[in-house]
Amino acid sequence: MHRLNRGQVIPPELPEPETYAGPEDFSRLHRPWQGAEFQKCLTPAVRANTMLSPQKLYLLRKLFVSTLGLPGDVFEAGAGSGGSARLMLDSLLARGVKKRMWVLDTFAGYPEADAARDGQHVRPQQCQCNSEAEVTALLANPAVEVRVVAGRIPATIAQVSTTSLCFAHIDVNLHQPTRAATEFCWERLVPGGVMVFDDYGWPATFGARTAIDEVCAARGAEVICLPETTQAFLIKR
């Protein structure tokens, strides 16, 4: 029988007893987003073009892939430099799944500042990433139709001519576009479809969280806040 310091016994069923450091040690938690398998998904094209941590990208990809058997398009509000969309696109390409992707951004940062809803810290043009042309090039591929829609949400939402979505990633940080995108996607999300919110737990984006809570409360949708990332998600029943 293996024993640790302080008399702790290593459970005999552990596959790797040498890695067992005791029930109070959180330094050896299983973290697949750091593992070799997931690192393969973090290609240079993804890494160089996203603000999301590997932990957040891992969750985004896992939930995204879980919806690929459902009908409906894919939607992202807040492409930034395109890295999170590219991760999703790569997942489609790797599986040969032909879903249409809608990718929205101003491509000029925040279009306006609404201090009452988003806080005094918000300034127009903050969070500016790559241009529409650069993101379009990043997402260009011969197999999956990607529609890049440039401009300010909610005005641009009308250009998204889809009736059903299997997955939506909402990452626009601010109250008004988060609210408009969440409402739009909720109406079109198929049963079992998933929405991931990037900005739910971050204090600086409390306006986005308020918007998500308002939309979901009005529709009886339950938002699941993820521990220790800024993300949350919902599954449409």
Q: Which is nearer to ligand SAM, 67 or 205 (CB)?
A: 205
Contacts of 228 (CB under 8 A, 6+ apart): none
Nearest residue to ligand SAM by CB is 80
Residue 45, burial from CB neighbour count under 10 angstroms (0-12, 13-18, 19+): middle
Sign of CA dihedral 155, 160, 163, 169: negative
End-to-end Cα separation, the chain, in angstroms: 48
> Of 30-38, 172-180, 217-225, 228-236, which segment contacts ligand SAM by CB under 6 A?
172-180
Please state, in angstroms and rounded to a whole number, the distance separating the CA atoms of residues 42 and 57.
9
Please state, in angstroms and rounded to a whole number, the distance separating the CA atoms of residues 109 and 152.
10
| One residue of 54, 78, 201, 207 binding ligand SAM per CB under 6 A | 78
- Can residue 147 be called a binding residue for ligand SAM (CB under 6 A)? no
| One residue of 10, 43, 66, 109 binding ligand SAM per CB under 6 A | 109
- Can residue 153 be called a binding residue for ligand SAM (CB under 6 A)? yes
| One residue of 90, 105, 118, 132 binding ligand SAM per CB under 6 A | 105
Count of residues interacting with ligand SAM (CB under 6 A): 24
> Of 14-22, 26-34, 108-116, 216-224, which segment contacts ligand SAM by CB under 6 A?
108-116
Report the interface residues with ligand SAM, using CB under 6 A: 50-52, 78-81, 83-84, 104-106, 109-111, 127, 129, 152-153, 171-174, 177
